[in-house]
């Protein structure tokens, strides 16, 4: 008997079927939803949500490093990460505590939120323990490793700039599973530098001026238990979080779709003219990205290609995206026309504003814009706060880098934008916030920017990076940048823009060993997939193709992107679009009997995973890599293995991290 065994997560196993095969052989297919299990793989990406706090409002009115500017919670299928951003440098005598209570568990679960809270996670110098207080009693589960703060792994004892602390826990250690919800609050407690109990809880995401002095740190121990709070003064501020991993974003920028349609261009599937968005949805695209300019109607009429993407143009297109059953990513440029690392011109109608008025304008503009999309039934799922902002935005006020270094002003502008988006999202899910750079092939530039940005305490959910193989160097550069970003900032990462040519009329020579051609475009998709899917920690969250809708139009300078789109000169959909959509395909491992061999097959959505095997599932199980070479036909991966002479053999895909 030969068994075929597939478990996306490393230990969780459940048989759901058995198939009869020739020669009296049986293959038991053990298949699982990719988000089930106790251990992470590359397939699930990370959901992350930012909650804004009270900023510098400490309960005792002292800027002592206890302020909470924001809290970011993110999860994969198996882990959950808490990041606390402080408005002042963290000090060794300030204690941050995340308190969570699983919904439906009674006590502080659903309605009254009375004490005791269910879980207390201490976040401070020397405090890296989880206090488990489900039911009665408490036990401390100590974790190895250190908290990371400003990338150093330890706390500031003063200094300048803002600070953050972050740590990841296994969901199972918190008694949580995917689909569970819990209430949470974050409080800060203060002890004097001499080690004596001090002011109690100083700040809370629930109450901007928490002053309940009944909180006392448990000094001299390796944990902090805030269950001594008898008053529960911040209960009404507790927030509900649901553990739901974000699906991998299979995205396409279609910002100029209506423009090309107005020029008579059509989009075909199988030779039949069809709605372009329906074509993308059919083949597996899950999200469409649309850029937004601040251009006037007169500017758009005078130069449609460079100015048309204003609100009047984009809202109807966003409605089409939503009506096609696709997610929507809104890309703010904060300019009348294209914004990129070398161009971040302030909108012409904003040029006479003072800086303080510009900050208020950013709040109002973002709030009003999101409200307009929401009213039209096209609420964004993701929002980019700026486009390729390597050197900041809204120059000169928010410019960073040589010769300017306006990090504080850039942070104020971005914070105002996020606050405006949050205000317009009241009563519904707030879009995930993406910060987008153009440096996917340059880790040094990416690190410089995000080190400075996180020091300013700007809240965001996802790191977005552009990578074009004809400009960004080899794919190894992208892999290095994505993995370093994920490891350094504990955020999901997406390739926010990429493309590859399907003919050689503009890009004429080999690009990283792949020739510009219809076949080469597919080869690039296959090469890119494991880079993003294999980002360490499961933080590879998606890819957006740029210029997807481009077709050649007389008199329009398209910088060659009409040769890197997903539609040929006649408007027919290209194979790369179909193959790219396989990034969202169900992760099924199938088997074929070709005596005396068996062939194991899996789709592009399993890129970045390794095939391993064992002959015995009795613990402890030893899994060994399958050493035969992985082949691919288009975007289907496969390995041929000889049939084992023994009674059984098990296979599974697993992550490499």
Between 68 and 522, name the one with better pLDDT.
522
- The answer to which of 58-62, 268-272, 543-547 has the lowest mean pLDDT is 58-62
Q: What is the pLDDT of residue 36?
A: 22
Tokens, residue 403: 């010769």
Q: What is the pLDDT of residue 190?
A: 45
Q: What is the pLDDT of residues 240-285, one digit of tens each?
A: 677 765 689 999 999 999 999 999 999 999 999 999 999 999 999 9
pTM > 0.75: no
Q: How many CA atoms lie within 13 A of 654 on its CB side?
A: 21
What is the Cα–Cα distance from 150 to 187, expressed in whole angstroms? 20
Q: What is the pLDDT of residue 620?
A: 80
Mean pLDDT for 518-524 is 97
Q: Is the pLDDT of residue 72 over 50?
A: yes
The overall average pLDDT reported for the chain is 74
Q: What is the pLDDT of residues 592-627, one digit of tens each?
A: 888 889 999 999 999 988 999 998 888 788 889 999
CATH fold of 47-242 reads Immunoglobulin-like (2.60.40)
User: Cβ contacts of residue 622 below 8 Å, gap of 6+?
Assistant: 614
Mean pLDDT for 372-390 is 97
What is the Cα–Cα distance from 636 to 642, expressed in whole angstroms? 20
Closest-CA residue to 437 (of 447, 427, 428): 447
Q: Is the pLDDT of residue 49 over 70?
A: no
Taking a C-beta distance cutoff of 8 angstroms, is the pair 538, 75 a contact?
Answer: no
Q: What is the pLDDT of residue 404?
A: 83
Active site residue 99: no
Q: What is the pLDDT of residue 594?
A: 84
Between 27 and 167, name the one with better pLDDT.
167
Q: Is the pLDDT of residue 182 over 50?
A: yes
Q: What is the pLDDT of residue 653?
A: 87
**Catalytic choice (388, 549, 558, 579):** 388
249-584 has CATH 3.20.20.80 classification: yes
| Helix and strand totals (H; E) in the chain | 11, 34
- The answer to which of 102-106, 121-125, 277-281 has the lowest mean pLDDT is 121-125
User: Cβ contacts of residue 258 below 8 Å, gap of 6+?
Assistant: 313, 316, 317
Q: What is the pLDDT of residue 593?
A: 84
Q: What is the pLDDT of residue 62?
A: 37
What is the domain partition of the chain in residue ranges?
4-43+597-654, 47-242, 249-584
What is the Cα–Cα distance from 617 to 499, expressed in whole angstroms? 44
pLDDT tier for residue 122 given thresholds of 50, 70 and 90: very low
Q: What is the pLDDT of residue 349?
A: 97
Tell me what percent of the residues of the chain surpass a pLDDT of 70: 64
Tell me what percent of the residues of the chain surpass a pLDDT of 90: 52
Closest-CA residue to 497 (of 436, 446, 435, 450): 436
Facing residues of 140 across strands?
131
**Catalytic choice (497, 549, 558, 579):** 497
- The answer to which of 86-90, 469-473, 545-549, 553-557 has the lowest mean pLDDT is 86-90
Closest-CA residue to 464 (of 280, 332, 636): 332
Active site residue 246: no
Between 118 and 157, name the one with better pLDDT.
118
Q: Is 107 left (phi over 0), alpha (psi -120 to 50) or beta?
A: left
551-586 core/surface letters (b: 16 or more CB in 10 A; e: else): bebeebebebbbbbbbbbeebebbbbbbbbbbbbbe
pLDDT tier for residue 649 given thresholds of 50, 70 and 90: confident
Closest-CA residue to 475 (of 435, 563, 564, 535): 535
Alpha helices by DSSP H, 437-587: 443-455, 475-489, 518-533, 575-580
Q: Is 512 left (phi over 0), alpha (psi -120 to 50) or beta?
A: left
Between 4 and 369, name the one with better pLDDT.
369
Q: What is the pLDDT of residue 143?
A: 28
Taking a C-beta distance cutoff of 8 angstroms, is the pair 83, 165 a contact?
Answer: yes
Q: Is the pLDDT of residue 207 over 80?
A: no
Mean pLDDT for 5-27 is 27
Mean pLDDT for 517-542 is 94
């Amino acid at each position: 008997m030969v068994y075929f065994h597939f478990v996306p997560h490393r230990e969780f196993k459940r048989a759901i079927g058995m198939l009869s095969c020739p020669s009296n052989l049986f293959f038991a297919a053990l298949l699982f939803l990719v988000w089930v299990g106790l251990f992470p793989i590359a397939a699930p990406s990370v959901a992350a949500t930012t909650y804004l706090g009270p900023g510098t409002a400490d309960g005792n009115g002292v800027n002592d490093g206890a302020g909470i500017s924001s809290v970011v919670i993110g999860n994969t299928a198996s882990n959950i990460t808490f990041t606390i951003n402080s408005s002042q440098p963290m000090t060794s005598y300030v204690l941050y505590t995340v308190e969570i209570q699983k919904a439906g568990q009674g006590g502080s679960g659903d309605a009254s939120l009375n004490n005791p809270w269910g879980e207390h996670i201490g976040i401070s110098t020397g405090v890296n323990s989880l206090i488990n207080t489900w039911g009665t009693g408490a036990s401390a589960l100590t974790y190895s490793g250190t908290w990371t703060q400003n990338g150093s792994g330890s706390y500031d004892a003063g200094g300048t700039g803002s600070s953050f602390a972050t740590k990841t826990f296994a969901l199972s250690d918190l008694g949580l599973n995917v689909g569970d919800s819990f209430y949470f609050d974050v409080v800060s407690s203060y002890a004097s530098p001499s080690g004596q109990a001090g002011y109690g809880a100083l700040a809370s995401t629930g109450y901007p001026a928490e002053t309940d002095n009944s909180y006392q740190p448990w000094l001299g121990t390796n944990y902090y238990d805030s269950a001594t709070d008898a008053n529960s003064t911040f209960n009404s501020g507790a927030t509900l979080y649901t553990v739901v991993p974000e699906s991998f974003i299979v995205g396409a920028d279609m910002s100029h779709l209506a423009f090309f349609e107005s020029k008579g261009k059509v989009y075909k599937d199988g030779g039949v003219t069809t709605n372009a968005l329906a074509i993308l949805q059919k083949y597996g695209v899950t999200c469409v990205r649309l850029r937004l300019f601040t251009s006037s109607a007169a500017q758009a009429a005078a130069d449609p290609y460079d100015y048309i993407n204003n609100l009047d143009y984009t809202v109807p297109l966003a409605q089409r995206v939503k009506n096609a059953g696709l997610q929507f990513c809104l890309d703010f440029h904060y300019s009348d026309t294209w914004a990129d690392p070398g161009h971040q011109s302030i909108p012409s109608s904003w040029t006479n504003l003072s800086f303080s008025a510009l900050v208020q304008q950013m709040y109002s503009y973002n709030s009003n814009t999101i409200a307009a999309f929401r009213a039209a039934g096209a609420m964004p799922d993701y929002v980019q706060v700026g486009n390729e902002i390597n050197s900041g935005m809204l120059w000169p006020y928010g410019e960073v880098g040589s010769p300017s270094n306006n990090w504080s002003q850039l942070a104020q502008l971005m914070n105002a934008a996020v606050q405006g988006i949050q205000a317009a999202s009241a009563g519904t899910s707030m879009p995930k916030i993406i910060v987008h750079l153009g440096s996917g092939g340059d880790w040094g530039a990416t690190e410089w920017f995000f080190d400075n940005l996180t020091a300013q305490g700007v809240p965001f959910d996802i790191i977005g990076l552009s990578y074009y193989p004809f400009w960004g160097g080899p794919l190894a550069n992208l892999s290095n940048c994505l993995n370093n970003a994920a490891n350094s900032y504990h955020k999901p990462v997406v390739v926010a823009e990429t493309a590859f040519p399907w003919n050689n009329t503009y890009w004429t020579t080999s690009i990283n060993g792949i020739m510009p051609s219809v076949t080469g475009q597919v080869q690039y998709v296959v090469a890119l997939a494991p880079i993003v899917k294999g980002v360490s920690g499961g933080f590879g969250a998606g890819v957006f193709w740029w210029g997807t809708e481009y077709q050649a139009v007389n008199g329009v300078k398209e910088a060659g992107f009409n040769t890197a789109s997903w539609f040929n000169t006649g408007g027919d959909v290209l194979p790369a679009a179909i193959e790219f959509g396989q990034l969202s395909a169900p992760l099924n491992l199938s088997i074929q009997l070709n005596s005396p061999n068996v062939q194991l097959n899996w789709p592009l959505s399993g890129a970045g995973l390794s095939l391993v095997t064992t002959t015995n599932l009795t613990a402890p199980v030893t899994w060994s890599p399958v050493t035969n070479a992985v082949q691919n036909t288009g975007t289907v991966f496969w390995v041929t293995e000889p049939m084992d002479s023994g009674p059984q053999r098990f296979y599974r895909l697993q992550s490499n991290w």
